[in-house]
Amino acid sequence: MKAKIYVTLKKGVHDPQGEAVLGTLKHLGFKDVKGVRVGKYIELNLDGVPADKARHRIDAMCAKLLANPVIESYSYELD
Amino acid sequence: MKFGVVQFPGSNCDQDCLYVLRKVLKRDARLLWHAAGDLGDVDCVILPGGFSYGDYLRTGAMAAHSPVMRAVSTFADRGGPVLGICNGFQILCEAGLLPGTLIRNKNLQFICEPCALRVERNDTRFTSQYRPGETVSIPIAHQDGHYYIDEAGLERLEKNRQIVFRYTSNPNGSVADIAGIVNEKGNILGMMPHPERASEKILGSEDGLKLWMSLNGS
């Protein structure tokens, strides 16, 4: 099983990287973009781990290391 | 007082700290490897600046879970003084030993320049040699020095008088101009500016030396 984890900045946390990307997109002529938030994508190989257990493990891994709860939230998909 | 300077893979201010402690302050100082399970008989722990673990994932995230940090946490729980400088501050926040976190500078740039700071408190073991409200010059060198904490957290910092240094001209977007904070107990200080780079006249400022002298006398 593979876990696809998305780590994103919480609402209200300033994202200068997203703002810079937005600025450059506008320079390139993509005027219809209203905002950009940059996050992280993490893939975990959890071969052989049952889905229920995988969910618990992913929550623990995100709480301990993969996301910083002060500024980030996360979501994930299993496939 | 015996000082221990932790060396993580990617630390790059460890030798500067050792130099100041040994040659300028003239005290016993040794390196502590990141994989060490105990701190030996040191009386004070320094987490130096640098790019531990290549800043992978988030600054300080990996170092915060290295074996030596378990020992540092126990040492701090017992009241031992811990100073985190720059990457050391980031590590302390990631380890949960200090509140908040450090994020990318508002202007996205790596900023390396002398920086004016106001000493908000001189009743800590790190700042007793300063005058309260004194303005000092200590350089910064970071890309992720923008201190962030939510409003409730900032209120707690202010109420408990945990803010020790503030920028007089905020270079990086830090909440409330914060450059350095202590934990509630007052034995852990994290700061983005580098006192080890301002401890000899030839380097343009000796303002950082008072911090080492305060620690030495605490």
Kindly tell me if the per-residue pLDDT of B130 is higher than 80: yes
Please check whether residue A71 touches B, CB under 8 A. Answer: yes
pLDDT, position A50: 95
B88-102: pLDDT as tens digits: 999 999 999 999 999
DSSP string, A7-46: EEEPTTS--HHHHHHHHHHHHTT-TT-------EEEEEE-
Name the A residues in 15-54 with CB < 8 Å from any B CB.
16-17, 20, 40
Contact A17 B108 (CB under 8 A): yes
Mean pLDDT in residue range B163-191:
98
pLDDT, position B166: 98
From A16-20, B44-48, B156-160, the region with the lowest mean pLDDT: A16-20
Q: Which of A13, A17, A65 sits opposite B148 (nearest CB)?
A: A13
pLDDT, position B92: 98
- CA–CA separation, B189 vs B191, rounded Å? 7
Share of chain B above pLDDT 90, in %: 99
Mean pLDDT in residue range B110-138:
97
Q: Is the ipTM of this complex over 0.90?
A: no
Instruction: Check which CATH number belongs to the domain holding B136 and give it.
Output: 3.40.50.880
pLDDT, position A60: 97
CATH number given to A2-78: 3.30.1280.10
pLDDT band at B163 (very low <50, low <70, confident <90, very high): very high
State the Cα angle at B188 between B184 and B186, rounded to 5°. 40
pLDDT, position B2: 97
- Considering its fold, how many domains does chain B have in total? 1
pLDDT, position B187: 98
In 3D space, the residue among B104, B109, B101 whose CA is nearest the CA of residue B84 turns out to be B101
Chain B CB contacts of A71 below 8 Å: 101, 103, 148
Kindly tell me if the per-residue pLDDT of B218 is higher than 90: no
pLDDT, position B217: 84
Shortest Cα distance from A4 to chain B (angstroms)?
Answer: 16
- Where are the domains positioned within chain A? 2-78
Range of the domain at B53: 3-217
